[in-house]
Amino acid sequence: MYTFGPTFRAENSNTTRHLAEFWMIEPEVAFNDLKDNMDLAEDMLRYVIEYALEHCADDLKILEERLIEEEKSKPQDQRSEMTLTEKLRFVVDNEFVRLTYTEAIDILKNSTPNKKGKFQFPVEGWGTDLQSEHERYLVEKHFKKPVILTNYPAAIKAFYMRQDEPKEGVPGPTVSAMDILFPGIGEIVGGSQREERYEHLVRRMHEMNIPEHELEWYLDTRRFGTCPHAGYGLGFERLVLFITGMTNIRDVIAFPRYPGSAEF
């Protein structure tokens, strides 16, 4: 099953990639595990972008010319290394690299930008919540391919994500989560395998100080029968932003809502 509807953010995020209200495509598939979830998301993104390249070539040419003119007004070090078409082909022509959060932290911690203090948010070690600059480094500089990060620390992810078995060499508990990272924008998809085991779910809620009585309806879905399942969210406007080459997400939605824009 899937849903496509409005989603609301509580964070005060005033950036070119965030809206207070945006539209989310959210598939949820019974009996899927983390690998199935990644396969589905990768296939979906490839299909949509290939469709745009094949059927909207004239529109993309106009958008590419617009982007080239816009780039001319930027300092040299802030200009994109790829044209719009090259960015789209970057996704469809390359296999998505899959690696764990733990492996990504090792790469980032030992990277030249981190050692030379070039990152705005230094990567000090395991447990760091990755920022857009870190995600873009992995995609655009290190691998030069789209990236899927998996198995994040449980402490920085939602309570309903399935808890992994402890692994040697991993400093703390992780969950079966995944994020897909694209050039230019960083994260475009976030998802996970869900925790179908009732006892594990309740224990995780207690660890995060989430009152059981407020989510009795959710716990009932585990009490009275469930199955392994996984899903993800794809921000529709962020996908349109990537495909069109626009630089501000407020330009790809008819009535943008962002912090401070609603009078009532």
Domain regions of the chain by residue span: 33-99+128-194+229-247
pLDDT at position 169 is: 87
Strand runs labelled E in the chain: 2-8, 21-30, 97-100, 147-153, 174-182, 186-193, 229-235
pLDDT at position 13 is: 77
Give 112: exposed, middle or buried? Use CB within 10 Å, 0-12, 13-18, 19+. exposed
Q: Which residues have a Cβ under 8 Å from the Cβ of 31 and sit 6 or more positions away?
A: 227, 228, 229
Cβ atoms of 2 and 27 closer than 8 Å = yes
- Superfamily of domain 33-99+128-194+229-247, CATH level 4: Bira Bifunctional Protein; Domain 2 (3.30.930.10)
Give the number of residues written for the chain.
264
pLDDT at position 264 is: 58
> 3-state DSSP call for residue 150?
strand
pLDDT at position 75 is: 81
pLDDT at position 72 is: 85
pLDDT at position 9 is: 82
pLDDT at position 74 is: 79
Task: Give per-10-residue mean pLDDT for the chain (264 aa).
Answer: 90 82 95 98 97 97 93 79 92 96 97 95 94 94 96 96 93 96 92 96 95 95 92 96 93 88 68
DSSP lists the bridge partners of residue 3 as: 26
Q: With a threshold of 0.85, does the pTM exceed it?
A: yes
Among 190, 191, 189, 197, CA closest to 165: 197
**Helix (H) and strand (E) counts for the chain?**
9, 7
* Side-chain half-sphere exposure of 14, counting CA atoms within 13 A: 3
